[in-house]
């Protein structure tokens, strides 16, 4: 239950959020009437008159827009640009969020203005990198807190406009039942990820040879010890706001320019900050850029208090370009309390902390967040290894019916191995499904599973009893600081990257930096298009110019590309994606194609025609995008304006869509062990039941790309991740297509997620039900032969052909099937109806269909896996199952809302099956199978 005053807090936060994302009313209009004839006078240093023309054409010119930019109370006014000024100043007030009253009884959601660590070559380039990524929350507390239902005082904080980063995901622990010795982990209570301060990474040492924890060949080992408390005198109590140290009086007015930075945030309303801005108007852009880097360093290192000398700051900042990342030594040189800060920086593990993960704003737009976090029930199948037990943390309270279903499902393994349907085992002692008691404590906060577990002391204590005197480790979801807190409570390591490192490389721009470092093919595009907050202090509206200019250059330099895709940095599941067929809607398209072909690729890049094309395209793009951009999530972004507003807030990438009408998306899962050993653990071709940019399922294993080529690309990406300190599970998305000119297959790397994927969980269940194994090096999935195959082999032995050692298997699986009519049918009735129609699993043949059931309240989503010997037959059976389920739960006048139809259409496209052939599915022999019984 929320504490008193919580409603007002939420209302205040909403107001701050709405005010901070509004560009209007923040600055006065800028007179650009003479800008066309003076391109050298802008801070961006545009080198050509053409690019200046682009800016002029894109500036809003109507009176209403200019009036909306004026604000009579704005403290910083933009000077008019005249012909006599050679370097116009573009600055903007950088205000902070409204102070919030004391919070009670809720998990801490601190301000999110801490920047990301940027490592060497990963630092974004260009004028848009002035402030760095500011998305990581302060470090999570690593002590078990009192239950959140009891109100307690917390320090007042100021909330800024940046989105809060957090993550949902599953938390699993793996145990060694055969080892009764106490764990031999060091006293450290930090995760086992590598440090982010070295481009080569920091891989943990090899585990003890006696380890039997993981299903793999090694066991996680801890590195990067974290500090439990703040024992040194320089760190004030977290319950008292740090106070600035007193300064000696001086006749030099510059002594009053000092800037106080508390917990990584400069007080921008303090007299010292305002005086510094007043005395250095011409170099203020450089000072702000340098200050942002200083804030980033201090926030990343959890420095509670630092004082920056304004005199030193002004002098040192002038030595760096706007887009240059100053070294740590330069930042330390401007600090008044340099020695105290250096002591904090040199502590082990200080820079390993941060929030990471999906922000609360993003989680708010994930439908059925709890259900989405419960779609990896296949993790339970890790008990296939006799040395591994599993504790599965579930974000929903499962009924006895569902618990019984999974008990019977996991008990099938003995029957699968023996081929005897009666030989089922009770494996309840090998796995536990636990639900944190805090799952309903914060219904309005959209908290992730790790946060819920952190605030569930009874569940934590139960886990502690279960893992006592046993080796264990945590496999989380999307990395989040509260996972570290839970691992600390349990005194076990966490397999995965640190939250900050994961956030840096899981964004769309961070993904591109990994791929560039790996040297793998990627779509033509541009990234590090940073958020509005990061450039508004230099010049309002610069990001809009940059986006239009970037897309214009991409179109001009890649005339053959028909479709361009825009992806927001932090969104997932295609929610932050939009696309536009630019070439087909350009009025100058015919002229552009003609000029491009007449010049040829080599001459085109330096031709005057290209410069003219750049101007013409830039003129057309604003109106073209407003009319023809298609957001993937139309409910959330019904118009281009809505999409653009969020895109400017988050930043993102622009990339080309493949040059073919036939495109295959595929996903590969890798594991980087703490020892540095890498392996490919899963692969699959994607299914798309809700459009080409949303994966709704997979066919296991992948069959669209040559395994040798795919392995080569994966090893390069894995090496790049490992060199940056990333370890644990990671999932890489590729796109494969045939180039229309060369008629050769091309493979592009398109996305990267540093977490355990749904596809991997599905693969684990497939292997469990078939007693099979998959060699992702050659992409086959094989299982022991079924009864029919054994009979066939007996006939072969009587002849001349040698018997096969294994029987090939493939699977079609989905976790995203949705039908509103499922809510009107109980699971037991649904399974009985499916059994009557021949939908079930044959234990002797090791093929058929099983279901994944997530919850029994709404019951409108489910997962399904169909296993067989050939892909075509499995796809047909999967589509037939969907058709049968729809018939069983629907009436002619109540068809319901579903994605079944789109899933069937996608399968039709894969197989080339016509609408007439679909009618034959009902006439086929029903699958003779042993259905799962409730």
Phi/psi at 444 (5° precision):
-95, -5
CA-to-CA dists, residue 625 to 24, 281, 578, angstroms = 22, 37, 10
132 and 115 Cβ atoms separated by less than 8 Å: yes
Task: Tell me the three state secondary structure of residue 518.
Answer: helix
643 and 578 Cβ atoms separated by less than 8 Å: yes
Residues 671 and 726: their CA atoms lie apart, in Å, by 10
Task: Tell me the three state secondary structure of residue 818.
Answer: strand
Q: How does pLDDT run across 849-874, given as a tens digit for each residue?
A: 999 999 988 899 999 999 999 999 99
Q: Is the pLDDT of residue 214 over 50?
A: no
Output the furthest CA–CA distance in the chain (Å, rounded): 106
> What's the 3-state SS for 168-237?
CCCCEEEECCCCCCCCCCCCCCCCCCCCCCCCCCCCCCCCCCCCCCCCCCCCCCCCCCCCCCCCCCCCCC
- The alpha carbons of the chain give a radius of gyration, in whole angstroms, of 29
Q: Is the pLDDT of residue 499 over 70?
A: yes
Which one is predicted more confidently, 225 or 422?
422
Q: What is the mean pLDDT of the chain?
A: 74
Phi/psi at 601 (5° precision):
-60, -40
Range with the poorest average pLDDT among 111-115, 179-183, 856-860, 871-875: 111-115
Task: Tell me the three state secondary structure of residue 157.
Answer: coil
Q: How does pLDDT run across 518-543, given as a tens digit for each residue?
A: 999 999 999 988 654 455 454 546 66
Q: How does pLDDT run across 739-756, given as a tens digit for each residue?
A: 988 889 999 999 999 999
Q: How does pLDDT run across 258-302, given as a tens digit for each residue?
A: 899 987 888 888 888 888 888 888 888 889 889 988 988 887 677
Which one is predicted more confidently, 151 or 594?
594
Element (H, E) at 21: none
307 and 244 Cβ atoms separated by less than 8 Å: yes
Q: What's the sign of the alpha-carbon dihedral 502, 504, 509, 513?
A: negative
Q: How does pLDDT run across 618-677, given as a tens digit for each residue?
A: 999 999 999 999 999 999 999 999 999 889 888 899 999 998 888 999 999 999 999 999
User: In 3D, which of 727, 732, 726, 724 has the Cα closest to residue 751?
Assistant: 732
Model pLDDT, residue 609: 94
Query: What residues pair up with 389 in beta bridges, in sequence order?
Result: 175
Which one is predicted more confidently, 514 or 788?
514
**Banded model confidence at residue 347, pLDDT cuts 50, 70, 90:** low
User: In 3D, which of 305, 264, 23 has the Cα closest to residue 136?
Assistant: 264
Residues 311 and 334: their CA atoms lie apart, in Å, by 8
**Banded model confidence at residue 779, pLDDT cuts 50, 70, 90:** low
Model pLDDT, residue 780: 74
Which one is predicted more confidently, 589 or 796?
589
Q: What is the pTM of this model?
A: 0.65
Q: How many residues does the chain have?
A: 934
Residues 159 and 286: their CA atoms lie apart, in Å, by 25
CB-based burial of residue 841 (10 Å sphere; 0-12 exposed, 13-18 middle, 19+ buried)? buried
Helices (H) and strands (E) in the chain, counts: 30, 24
The contacts of residue 759 (CB under 8 Å, 6+ apart) are: 667, 669, 682, 684, 698, 700, 731, 813
CB-based burial of residue 377 (10 Å sphere; 0-12 exposed, 13-18 middle, 19+ buried)? buried
Which one is predicted more confidently, 890 or 167?
890
Region 765-789: mean pLDDT is 79
Residues 634 and 163: their CA atoms lie apart, in Å, by 21
Region 18-47: mean pLDDT is 39
165 and 290 Cβ atoms separated by less than 8 Å: no
Model pLDDT, residue 676: 92
**Banded model confidence at residue 800, pLDDT cuts 50, 70, 90:** low
Strands 630-631 and 525-529: unpaired
Q: Is the pLDDT of residue 409 over 70?
A: yes
> Which tokens sit at 163?
């989105």
Model pLDDT, residue 265: 86
Region 459-484: mean pLDDT is 93
**Banded model confidence at residue 387, pLDDT cuts 50, 70, 90:** very high
Q: What's the sign of the alpha-carbon dihedral 137, 138, 143, 148?
A: negative
**Banded model confidence at residue 244, pLDDT cuts 50, 70, 90:** very low
Which one is predicted more confidently, 278 or 580?
580
Which of 313-327, 563-577, 788-802 is most confident? 563-577
Residues 57 and 83: their CA atoms lie apart, in Å, by 19
Model pLDDT, residue 367: 80
- Phi-psi bin for 197: left (phi > 0), alpha (psi -120 to 50), beta? alpha
Which one is predicted more confidently, 470 or 932?
470
Model pLDDT, residue 286: 86
Looking up tokens 């599993």, which residue turns up? 390
**Banded model confidence at residue 320, pLDDT cuts 50, 70, 90:** confident
**Banded model confidence at residue 778, pLDDT cuts 50, 70, 90:** low
Q: How does pLDDT run across 889-913, given as a tens digit for each residue?
A: 999 889 999 999 999 999 988 887 5
Q: How does pLDDT run across 809-834, given as a tens digit for each residue?
A: 999 999 999 999 999 999 999 999 99
157 and 366 Cβ atoms separated by less than 8 Å: no
Query: What residues pair up with 666 in beta bridges, in sequence order?
Result: 685, 734
Tell me which DSSP letter residue 544 carries. H
């Amino acid at each position: 239950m929320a504490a008193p005053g919580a409603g007002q807090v939420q209302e205040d936060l909403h107001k701050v959020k709405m005010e901070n994302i509004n560009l209007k009313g923040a600055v006065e209009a800028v007179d650009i009437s003479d800008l066309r004839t003076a391109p050298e006078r802008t801070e961006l240093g545009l080198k050509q008159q053409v690019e200046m023309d682009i800016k002029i054409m894109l500036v809003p010119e109507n009176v209403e827009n200019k009036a909306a930019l004026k604000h009579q109370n704005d403290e910083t006014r933009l000077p008019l640009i005249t012909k006599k000024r050679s370097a116009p100043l573009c600055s903007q007030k950088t205000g902070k969020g409204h102070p919030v009253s004391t919070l009670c009884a809720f998990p801490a959601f601190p301000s999110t203005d801490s920047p990301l660590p940027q490592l060497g070559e990963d630092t974004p380039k260009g004028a848009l990198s002035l402030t760095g990524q500011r998305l990581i929350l302060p470090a999570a507390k690593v002590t078990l807190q009192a239950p959140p239902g009891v109100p307690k005082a917390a320090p007042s904080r100021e909330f800024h406009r940046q989105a809060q980063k957090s993550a949902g995901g599953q938390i699993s622990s793996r145990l060694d039942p055969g080892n009764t010795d106490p764990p031999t982990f060091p006293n450290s209570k930090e995760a086992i990820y590598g440090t982010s301060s070295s481009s080569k990474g920091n891989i943990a040492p090899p585990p003890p040879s006696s380890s039997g924890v993981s299903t793999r060949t090694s066991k996680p080992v801890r590195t990067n010890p974290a500090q439990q408390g703040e024992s040194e005198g320089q760190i004030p109590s977290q319950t008292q706001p740090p106070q600035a140290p007193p300064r000696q009086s001086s006749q030099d007015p510059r002594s009053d320019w000092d800037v106080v930075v508390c917990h990584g945030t400069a007080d921008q309303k303090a007299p010292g900050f305002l005086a510094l801005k007043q005395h250095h108007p011409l170099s203020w852009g450089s000072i702000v850029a340098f200050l942002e880097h200083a804030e980033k360093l201090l926030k990343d290192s959890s420095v509670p208090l630092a004082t920056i000398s304004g005199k030193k700051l002004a002098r040192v900042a002038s030595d760096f370009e706007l887009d240059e990342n100053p070294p740590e030594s330069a930042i330390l040189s401007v600090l008044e309390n340099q020695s105290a800060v250096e002591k904090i920086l040199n502590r082990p593990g200080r820079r390993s902390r941060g929030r990471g993960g999906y922000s609360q704003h993003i989680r708010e737009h994930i439908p059925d967040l709890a259900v989405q976090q419960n779609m990896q029930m296949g993790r339970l199948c890790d008990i296939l290894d006799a040395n591994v037990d599993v504790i599965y943390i579930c974000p929903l309270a499962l009924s006895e019916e569902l618990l019984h279903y999974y008990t019977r499902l996991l008990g099938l393994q003995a029957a699968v191995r023996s081929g005897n349907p009666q030989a089922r085992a009770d494996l309840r002692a090998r796995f536990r499904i636990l639900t944190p008691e805090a799952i309903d404590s914060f219904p309005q906060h959209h908290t992730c599973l790790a946060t819920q577990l952190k605030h569930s002391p009874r569940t934590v204590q139960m886990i502690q009893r279960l893992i006592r005197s046993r080796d264990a480790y945590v496999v989380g979801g999307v990395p989040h600081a509260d996972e570290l807190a839970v691992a600390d409570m349990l005194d076990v390591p966490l397999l995965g990257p640190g939250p900050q490192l994961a956030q840096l490389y899981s964004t769309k721009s961070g993904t591109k930096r990994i791929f560039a470092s790996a040297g793998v093919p990627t779509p033509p595009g541009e990234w590090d298009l940073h958020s509005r907050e990061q450039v508004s202090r230099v010049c309002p509206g610069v990001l809009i110019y940059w986006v239009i200019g970037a897309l214009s250059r991409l179109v001009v330099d890649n005339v053959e590309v028909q479709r361009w895709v825009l992806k927001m940095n932090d969104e997932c599941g295609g929610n932050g994606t939009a696309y536009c067929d630019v070439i087909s809607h350009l009025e100058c398209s015919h002229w552009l194609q003609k000029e491009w072909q007449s010049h040829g690729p080599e001459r085109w890049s330096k031709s005057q025609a290209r410069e003219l094309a750049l101007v013409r395209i830039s003129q057309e793009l604003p109106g073209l995008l407003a009319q023809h951009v298609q957001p993937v999530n139309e409910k959330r972004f019904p118009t281009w304006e809505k999409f653009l507003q969020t895109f400017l807030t988050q930043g993102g990438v622009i990339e080309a869509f493949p040059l073919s009408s036939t495109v295959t998306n595929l996903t590969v899962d890798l594991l980087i062990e703490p020892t540095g050993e890498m392996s490919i653990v899963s692969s699959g071709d994607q299914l798309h039941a809700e459009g080409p940019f949303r994966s709704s399922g997979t066919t296991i294993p992948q069959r669209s790309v040559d395994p040798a080529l795919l392995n080569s690309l994966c090893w390069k990406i894995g090496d790049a991740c490992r060199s940056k300190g990333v370890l644990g599970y990671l999932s890489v998305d590729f796109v494969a297509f045939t180039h229309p000119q060369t008629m050769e297959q091309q493979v592009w790397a398109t996305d990267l997620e540093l977490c355990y994927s749904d596809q991997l969980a599905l693969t684990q269940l497939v292997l469990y039900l078939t007693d099979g194994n998959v060699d992702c090096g050659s992409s086959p999935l094989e299982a022991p032969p079924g009864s029919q195959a054994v009979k066939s082999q007996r006939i072969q032995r009587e002849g001349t052909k040698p018997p096969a050692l294994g029987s090939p298997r493939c699977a079609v699986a989905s976790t995203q099937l949705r039908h509103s009519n499922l809510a009107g049918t109980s699971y037991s009735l649904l399974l009985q109806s499916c059994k009557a129609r021949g939908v079930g699993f044959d234990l002797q043949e090791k093929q058929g269909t099983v279901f994944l059931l997530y919850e029994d309240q709404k019951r409108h989503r489910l997962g399904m896996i169909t296993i067989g010997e050939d892909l075509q037959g499995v796809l047909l059976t999967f589509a037939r199952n969907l058709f049968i389920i729809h018939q069983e739960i629907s009436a002619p006048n109540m068809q319901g809302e579903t994605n079944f139809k789109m899933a069937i259409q996608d399968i039709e496209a894969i197989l080339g099956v016509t609408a007439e052939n679909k009618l034959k599915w009902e006439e086929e022999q029903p699958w003779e199978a042993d259905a799962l019984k409730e």
